[in-house]
Amino acid sequence: MTVNLELVSEHRCHGGWQRYYQHHSEAIGLPMKFSVFLPEQTQATSAKEDSVNPMGVTKRPVLIYLAGLTCTEDTFTTKAGAQQYAAEHGLILVTPDTSPRGAGAPGEDDNWDFGTGAGFYLDATTPDFAQHYRMESYVADELFRIVTTVLPGDAERVGIFGHSMGGHGALVLALRHQDKFKSVSAFAPIAAPTQCPWGEKAFTGYLGTDRQVWQQHDASCLMQNQDTAPYPQGILVDQGLADAFLERELHPHVFEAACEKVAQPLTLRRHAGYDHGYFFIMTFMKDHIQHHAQQLGA
């Protein structure tokens, strides 16, 4: 696969480099953007000097973060404060955009919770969205290859985490691609999308009306159908109890029950007073980075 990454910008950050890239995505069929934090352990210098990945660059563990509804590749990068903790462990942080942009699908810009900025990290199959809305293939295949070949990521040490819609994406992609993702965690994930309005709207629009198909993109359904615990070292989930979306959209108790059914170790922490936003995320970010660093051998 030939990839021409366009460096949009770069910034010195916690001893490493925060970069933003754009490229033409084969999976999406449109330009896509993503951000990447390269810690100093990769020996990264200026992108103008190292031509992205020079000979001798040290391969490091990778942590892919999937953002939530309406977000971009920049939201997590500027709001979560994760780079300081990634720098301590020598982790590469990667954040893709949350959907294609300018796909021209009917109604893709009509609502904030569907279409642009709301790709739900799946490959759409309905006629209006199947051509470009292929976020599962983009993240799990194309971006994974870019990060571990063009960029200095270690393909044997890649973890995934996310928030809300991205928490859903992280859990689902981890369960659907266990050969690629070796650790997983989530902040306030949409844990049972087949049972909430956000999920029903997205799945109907992207996948059609067959609920059996929906279950293949629902973390709780996927987990309860496992033969053995897929992540024996444990999954970490944090949930704020003052989250306005908790009762209607998120349903972490459903995922908790699914994990119990297959003896999947789960640390589900419920925090009084915390809402759905990035103040909540930044508060517990250190714990999530530590969770992945330990499992990825960083």
Active-site hit among 276, 288, 291, 292:
276
Other beta carbons within 10 Å of 65: 27
Half-sphere exposure of 290 (CA within 13 A, CB side): 4
Active-site hit among 168, 243, 251, 292:
243
**210 close to 125: Cβ distance less than 8 angstroms:** no
Active site annotation includes 35: no
Active site annotation includes 276: yes
Helix (H) or strand (E) holding 154: strand 153-163
Q: Please list the alpha-helical segments (H only) found in the chain.
A: 47-50, 75-79, 83-89, 135-137, 144-145, 165-176, 197-207, 211-214, 219-224, 252-261, 278-296
Active-site hit among 35, 99, 164, 220:
164
**41 close to 1: Cβ distance less than 8 angstroms:** no
In whole angstroms, give the CA distance from residue 6 to residue 19.
Answer: 11
Annotated catalytic sites, by residue? 164, 243, 276
